[in-house]
Structure 1
Amino acid sequence: MSSSVTPAPDSGWTDPECPVARTLDFVGDRWSLLVIRDAMDGARSFTEFQRRTGIARNILTDRLRRLTAHGLLAQRTAPSGRRQEYVLTDAGRDLFPVVVALRQWGERHAFAPGEAHSTLVDRHGAAVPELVPTGADGTVLDAGTTIVRKVAG
């Protein structure tokens, strides 16, 4: 998918040349990622987002506005015709692997052994396999086997 997000007109990038920093400028706070997570899970209305996250109304209003302005969510008229709802754009849906990676990290490191937590399954009920970055030759990649190539400027 080749959709892109829209930088806010007054963006002062944290680190202008780093894709990680720029992504975090869009969705790097807890509430934004939880709104994206819930949109992926079918939440559409302001009320649904608030109920699922417990977020204060003013903060939710701000996050929905920012996520919409950045092109991660779009507003449309709900099927009832009486309200607006929020839906993921292509760019918002492209965050799915990010949410899965955060979930899988949390499953490994944020719970005590045997502690109950939700799990992500496919439509057939099978657990989603662990995301593992691999090189072109199939070799597993990690922080020790990759480098960041800086942009010449």
Structure 2
Amino acid sequence: MRYEELADVPCSITRPLVIFGDRWTLLILKYSFAGVRRFNAFQSTMGISRSRLRDRLDRLIDHEILVKRPAADGAYEEYRLTEKGHAIYPILMAIRDWGDTYMAPDGPPVEYRHRGCEGEAHAHLTCDHCAAEVTARDIDPQAGPGITPRRELDD
């Protein structure tokens, strides 16, 4: 299957890979949440080629995750997270939690503290019905309204 064809797969885990399927896109998002907004700042911070950065930024704009607009002083353009972009934060926090657990032998390199109480933020899965915390062992995937029956090969 070609990379572009992933968008046609009726799976809400597979489809986003068209957008997030490489390290550069996730790093752009990480730095966007950290306040990086200018093209040159992304480029110098990440060490990414200008053409690759342009491609990834354009993809995030095309998918309405980032928006490009003039800066407050009008001297340059900046990239800002949209509402759809802000909805990605729990994904990054889940990756960070996994990295802290399995790839940080000396402890977390950064702690993400709640401004209101100084507690640490973590990603958690909960049931929308009973509010219980769930893991993969508690989940039973079932067909949803967005799946279409596969046609038989001889149809």
Please confirm whether the aligned pair reaches a TM-score higher than 0.5, indicating the same fold. yes
User: Share of identical aligned residues, percent?
Assistant: 30
Deviation digits for residues 65-88 of structure 1 (CA, Å, limit 9, x no counterpart):
111111110000112212111000
Gaps of 5+ in 2: 150-155
Hey, what's the Cα distance between the residues in 2 that align with 1:20 and 1:119?
Answer: 27
Structure 1 partner of 2:91? 98
User: RCO greater where, 1 or 2, for CA within 8 Å and sep 6 or more?
Assistant: 1
Aligned with 2:121 (options 123, 129, 134): 129
Q: 1:53-92 counterparts in 2 under 5 A?
A: 53-92=46-85
Q: SS state of the match for residue 13, structure 1?
A: helix
Moved segments of 4+, more than 4 Å:
none
Q: Which residue of 2 aligns with 1:109?
A: 102
Gaps of 5+ in 1: 1-10
Report how far residue 14 of structure 1 moved: 5.2
2:5 alignment partner, one of 7, 12, 31? 12
Superposed displacement of residue 52, structure 1: 2.2
In structure 1, distance between residues paired with 2:49 and 2:63 = 21
The answer to whether the 8 Å contact 2:114/2:121 transfers is: no
